[in-house]
Amino acid sequence: MFIVRRLLALVGVLIASSFLVFAAMYAAPGSPENFLVQGRTVSPDVLAAIRQQYSLDDPFLVRYWNWLVNVLQGNFGLSLTNRQDVGELLANRLPTTFMLVAMAAILIVIFGIGLGVIAGLRDGVVDKVIILTSNLGFAIPTFFAALILMSIFSVSLGWFPVFGSGEGFLDRVWHLTLPAVALSLPSAAVVARITRTSIREERGSEHSVMAVARGVRNALVVRRHVIRNSMLPVTTIVGVHIAGLIAGSFVVEYAFTLDGIGTLLVNAVQRKDFAVVQAIAIILVAAFGVMNLLVDLLYAAIDPRVRGVRA
Amino acid sequence: MLRIENLSLTIRAQREEIPVLHSVNLTVGRGESVGIVGESGSGKSMTLRSILRIEPDGSTVTGRITFDGTNVLELSGEPLRRLRSHEIAMIAQNPHAVLNPVLAVGRYLVEGMHDAQGMPTRAAKLRAGELLEQVGIDDVDRVLRSYPHQLSGGMLQRVVIAGAIAGNPKLLLADEPTTALDVTTQAEVMAILDDCRRELGMAMLFVTHDLDLAAAVCDRISVMKDGVVVEDGVPDQLRDNPRHPYTRELMASRPASIAWHGSKGATA
């Protein structure tokens, strides 16, 4: 029941946002046919022919409907610039971005939550060092972190490649390690902070204190009462940040010249390649939606109050 | 059995030292019921919490708290844990905060008996049901499966009481156990607590702001104000012949006492 409700909500969000994505492109200045003729002076007849070829003269809602029906069938149309199938274009690019985001997500979970838990449980020096590091990680812009990482680990030490996405799984992991680190830094820092605060709050919570008062061993209180309960807010933050990584990956892809959808999007926007931009925007929204759905499900698994368990 | 001598407690909050208790002296004999009465912030709860060494982080405690001859303030590690699991149990004010919101009620009871007291899980599960019956719960299985947010405060406080008596401790610390409950269930829960205690012969240190309630269930009462015990005595003496002005104030501030004062004034 809970899942069904969430799925319906996700579908609603996707439909609404697909409309926004479609509408926004037409609200933007400049028109696609002007780009297609690339500034050459052409006769109105040619322009009209182009408009007809791309069905630009149809009423807005009709165009939206046709586009939506095609998208639902997995047909994102043709790129306006090189007449390639957008779906194919994306299929070539998605694995790099997906892997980059997945690796960054793993780093965020391991280091963000891990360091946050340690800082929350320890007082004194360990805590201070982790806070300082997290402040630093949060303050450094991603592109700058990318440059520093490259100059240290690729150029000076030669441990990692400077650009490219690699072939095959292990080679890809090797190529994407530095980009993933750069991408995960700010989010890992935020997650570490939230985790630390949450852990501290739960340490002082009445049910943790009373568990101690009942003679439950400290390690068990920490595991069962402090860490488990502190993961409620952390789950939300981690989910939002991982979903946001897809958008953030564009900067990193550019810095490390990776052939992901980020670079594709930047190029498409510059060339006003509607079909590509719309497709990527929809994928972003869908990924965000799915991520949020996963977080909700996880949340429900942890917290009976969210599951809607009633008396 | 329990002897508190010159107990002083200071809490550190934002680098400021806030004195909470000043030389508190108190004793509880075996099977005896002792009340601590005072207004909010008078240090009653802190006195209870320092007995189990769960005062807030960064507090300084001085003085002596001896339980059966050992100084609790010097205990740590396993002996302290054993004191908490087997000798002294506490019932706090708000049961909704005491039970972990993400764990079922059954887990709370099993945690106390299995994880703290070392009883095998299966036996603990069976005993949990018996205990709930003992505190007057009928649909035991439903309650055991429920999560805290599904149950009323009165029901949960019975669960907490069941957990507290599970290990047959020598001393119950009750910190305003009925204050957070609906007025309609207060009397019921109080009666259950008092019955259990008497039946099992446990001593009780009962903290409340309600002098009448304390008088009803306690053998002796200490009146606290601003971290100091200002007066102690048996309930009748406090009621009929309060020596300290604060005790008199407490007596006068009871809702029921207005009429009583009126009649007194008429005869004077």
Averaged pLDDT, B60-78: 93
pLDDT of amino acid A31: 67
Across A93-102, B24-33, B96-105, B139-148, least confident range: A93-102
pLDDT in tens, A197-247: 999 999 999 999 999 999 999 999 999 999 999 998 999 899 888 888 887
Q: Is residue A288 part of a domain?
A: no
| Same structural domain, A148 and A106 | yes
**Cα separation of A229 and A252, whole Å?**
34
Please determine, for residue A71, whether its predicted confidence score (pLDDT) is greater than 90.
Answer: no
Helix, strand, or coil (residue B52)? coil
Average pLDDT of span B100-105: 94
Confidence of residue B266 (pLDDT cuts 50, 70, 90): very low
pLDDT at B39: 87
What's phi and psi for B62, nearest 5 deg? -130, 165
Q: Three-state secondary structure along A133-162?
A: HHHHHHHCCHHHHHHHHHHHHHHHCCCCCC
Q: Are residues A160 and A23 in the same domain?
A: no
Residue B209 lies in a domain: yes
For A242-265, how does the pLDDT look when each residue is reduced to its tens digit (9 = 90+)?
888 887 888 888 888 888 888 888
- Taking the C-alpha atoms of residue B255 and residue A260, their distance in angstroms, rounded to an integer, is 75
pLDDT at B27: 94
Helix (H, G, I), strand (E, B) or coil at A78: strand
* Domain termination site, one of A39, A72, A105: A72
**A271 or A127, greater pLDDT:** A127
Q: Of all helices (H) and strands (E), which one includes residue A98?
A: helix A86-107
Outline where B99-221 has alpha helix (H): 105-110, 121-134, 140-145, 153-166, 183-200, 211-217
Residue B256: what pLDDT?
Answer: 59
B124 interfaces chain A, CB cutoff of 8 Å: no
B261 domain-assigned: no
Using N-to-C axis directions, what is the helix angle for A228-255 and A86-107, rounded to 10°? Answer: 130
The answer to whether position B219 is within a domain reads: yes
Residue with tokens 């980059």: A100
Q: Which residues contact A193 (CB under 8 A, 6 or more apart)?
A: A116, A131, A134, A138
- Do A16 and A49 lie in one domain? The reply is yes
Residues A55 and A153 in one domain: no
Same-domain pairing of A67 and A188: no
Helices (H) and strands (E) in chain B, counts: 12, 10
3-state secondary structure of B11: strand
Look up the CATH number of the domain holding residue B79.
Answer: 3.40.50.300
Closest to B11 (Cα-Cα) out of B44, B46, B58: B58
- Structure confidence at residue A36 (pLDDT): 66
Mean pLDDT rounded to a whole number for chain B: 89
pLDDT for residue B262: 38
- pLDDT per residue over A267-307, tens digit each? 888 877 878 888 888 888 888 888 888 888 888 888 888 87
How far is A169 from A98, CA to CA, in rounded Å?
Answer: 13
Q: Measuring CA to CA, which residue among A235, A223, A228, A225 is closest to residue A299?
A: A235
Contacts of A260 (CB under 8 A, 6+ apart): A93, A94, A96, A97, A100, A165, A249, A250, A253
pLDDT of the residue at B259: 43
Q: Is residue A236 part of a domain?
A: yes
A80 assigned to some structural domain: no
- The mean-pLDDT minimum among A71-85, A109-123, A192-206 falls in A71-85
Give a yes or no: residue B42 inside a domain: yes
A130 and A229 housed in the same domain? yes
pLDDT, average across residues A130-134: 91
Provide the domain limits for residue A65: 2-72
CB contact B85 to A (< 8 Å) = yes
Backbone angles phi, psi at B117, to 5 degrees: -95, -10
pLDDT at A309: 57
Q: Does B72 reside within a domain?
A: yes
Residue B119, domain member (yes or no): yes
Q: What angle do helix axes A86-107 and A274-302 make, rounded to 10 degrees?
A: 40
Residues of B in contact with A232 (CB under 8 A): 102
User: In which band, very low, low, confident or very high, does the pLDDT at A140 lie, cut at 50, 70 and 90?
Assistant: confident
pTM of the model: 0.83
Look at residues A222, A16, A256 and name the one whose alpha carbon lies nearest to residue A149. Answer: A256
Average pLDDT value for residue range A18-41:
73
CB A198 within 8 A of CB A248: no
**pLDDT confidence tier of residue B205, bands split at 50, 70 and 90:** very high
CATH of residue A151's domain is 1.10.3720.10
User: Residue B82 is nearest to which of A205, A215, A303, comparing CB atoms?
Assistant: A215
pLDDT (0 to 100) of residue B168? 92
Give the full edge-to-edge strand order of the sheet including B2-13: B16-28, B2-13, B60-67, B70-71
Looking at beta carbons, which residues of chain A come within 8 Å of B150? 309-311
> Residues B19-42: what's their mean pLDDT?
92
B92 touches chain A (CB under 8 A): yes
Report the number of distinct structural domains present in chain A. Answer: 2
Cα separations (Å) of B145 from A311, B141, B142? Answer: 10, 6, 5
pLDDT at B1 > cutoff 50: yes
What is the reported pLDDT for A158? 80
Predicted confidence at residue A216, as pLDDT, reads: 95
Does residue B260 form part of some domain? no
Q: Which of A146, A241, A243, A246 is nearest to A190 (CA)?
A: A241
The whole-chain average pLDDT of chain A stands at: 85
| Rounded Cα–Cα distance for residues B76 and B58 (Å) | 16
Domain for residue A304, yes or no?
A: no
The answer to whether B165 and B174 have CB atoms below 8 angstroms apart is no
Q: Is residue A232 part of a domain?
A: yes
Query: Is 60 exceeded by the pLDDT of residue A17?
Result: yes
Of A305, A310, A311, the CB nearest to B101: A305
Whether A87 maps to a domain, the answer reads no
Q: Are residues A240 and A120 in the same domain?
A: yes
Sequence-separated (6 or more) residues with CB below 8 Å from residue B139: none
A85 falls within a domain? no
Residues A172 and A35 in one domain: no
Question: Do both A112 and A251 map to the same domain?
Answer: yes
Contact A115, A192 (CB under 8 A): yes
Q: Is the pLDDT of residue B265 over 60?
A: no
pLDDT above 70 for B268: no
From the list B165, B84, B177, B103, the residue with the least C-alpha distance to B132 is B165
Domain hosting residue B133, numbered range = 2-254
CB contact (8 A) between residue B150 and residue A310? yes
Q: Is the pLDDT of residue B161 over 90?
A: yes
A89 belongs to a structural domain: no
- Whether residues A203 and A66 share a domain: the answer is no
Alpha-carbon gap: B255 to the closest alpha carbon of chain A (Å): 31
* Residue for token pair 């709370």: B108
CB contact (8 A) between residue B102 and residue A304? yes
Compute the count of residue pairs across chains A and B with CB atoms less than 8 Å apart: 79
**What is the model's pLDDT at position A43?**
79
HSE-CB for A34 with a 13 A CA cutoff: 5
Predicted local distance difference test score (pLDDT) of residue A240: 86
Sheet (strand B203-208) strand order: B88-91, B171-175, B203-208, B33-37, B220-225, B228-233
For residues A229 and A120, membership in a common domain is answered with yes
Q: Which of B259, B251, B213 is nearest to B230 (CA)?
A: B251
Distance in Å from the first CA to the final CA of chain B = 44
Residues A172 and A217 in one domain: yes
- What is the token pair recorded at A278? 């719309």
Proportion of chain B above pLDDT 90, given as a percent: 71
Q: Is residue B33 part of a domain?
A: yes
A32, pLDDT greater than 70: no
Query: Nearest by CB to A220, which of B115, B150, B163?
Result: B115
Minimal CA–CA distance to A145: which of A133, A137, A156, A153?
A137
Q: Find the radius of gyration of the CA atoms of chain A.
A: 24
Give B-chain residues touching A214 at CB under 8 angstroms.
Answer: 84-85, 89-90, 111-112, 116, 163
Whether pLDDT at B133 is above 60: yes
Number of domains comprising chain B: 1
B84/A204 touch (CB, cutoff 8 Å), yes or no? no
Phi, psi of B6 (to 5 degrees): 50, 40
**Weakest-pLDDT range from A58-67, A178-187, B147-156, B182-191:** A58-67
Structure ipTM: 0.90
For residue B166, give the chain A residue with the closest CA.
A214
